[in-house]
Amino acid sequence: PELIVHPYLGTATLGRITAVLPRLDALVLGPGLGRDPDVLSATKSIVAAATELQLPLVLDGDALYLLSTDVLLLRNYTNAILTPNTVETIYYALLVKTTLGHLTVLQKGKIDVISDGYTSTNNNMGFTVGLIQRGKLWSNLVEVFPDDVAAKAM
């Protein structure tokens, strides 16, 4: 399936979600996640299971918040893309450089930057409208294309 949505993420649904992970091509976490402690705890378990499977991950929104509370969650995991906004980018860029190792950071802002050893900018002013919706769009698009392809396409 292209999209699997559970109405509430908690310990009751955790087993069902982790059982589905081997069938996925990629996993986007964050949009609409929220910061409920039970949800964040379950999400940590899902991230751990996904990284064991080497499943490509895209972290946006509150999944980035989760990462900020447990910076070792993705340490040395290279198959993930972080999609911070302009304000969050410095924090996550330093986190990747000092703690996490090699990850792709896709900065959303007036000028979008995809960084994975390659950097590309997009100064298309029409594309910068609707930052929240654009974050959701980016997180869904980057799960489809490898980071080097996405960077060159920009």
CA–chain centroid gap for 143, Å, is: 9
Q: Is residue 114 part of a domain?
A: yes
Burial string for 106-116 (b: 16+ CB within 10 Å, else e) reads bbbbeebbbbb
Tokens of 11: 């310990």
**φ, ψ of residue 71 in degrees (nearest 5):** -65, -15
Please tell me the distance from the alpha carbon of residue 126 to that of residue 18, in angstroms, as a whole number: 39
Q: Is residue 89 part of a domain?
A: yes
CATH assignment of the domain containing 112? 3.40.1190.20
Q: Is residue 111 part of a domain?
A: yes
Q: Is residue 37 part of a domain?
A: yes
Q: Is residue 49 part of a domain?
A: yes
Please tell me the distance from the alpha carbon of residue 78 to that of residue 20, in angstroms, as a whole number: 22
The tens-digit pLDDT sequence of the chain (154 residues) is: 666 665 666 667 788 889 999 999 899 999 888 898 988 999 999 999 999 999 999 999 999 999 999 988 998 888 998 888 878 877 877 787 777 777 788 887 777 777 754 455 555 554 544 544 555 555 555 555 555 555 444 4
Collapsing DSSP states into helix, strand and coil, what is residue 135?
A: helix
Q: Is residue 94 part of a domain?
A: yes
Number of domains in the chain: 1
Q: Is residue 2 part of a domain?
A: no
Could you please report the per-residue DSSP string of 44-60? HHHHHHHHHTT--EEE-
Domain that holds residue 64: 11-153
Q: Is residue 61 part of a domain?
A: yes
- One-letter amino acid at 1 equals P
Please tell me the distance from the alpha carbon of residue 25 to that of residue 2, in angstroms, as a whole number: 9
Full-prediction pTM beyond 0.85? no
Total residues belonging to the chain = 154
User: CA dihedral defined by 50, 54, 57, 59, rounded to 10 degrees?
Assistant: 70
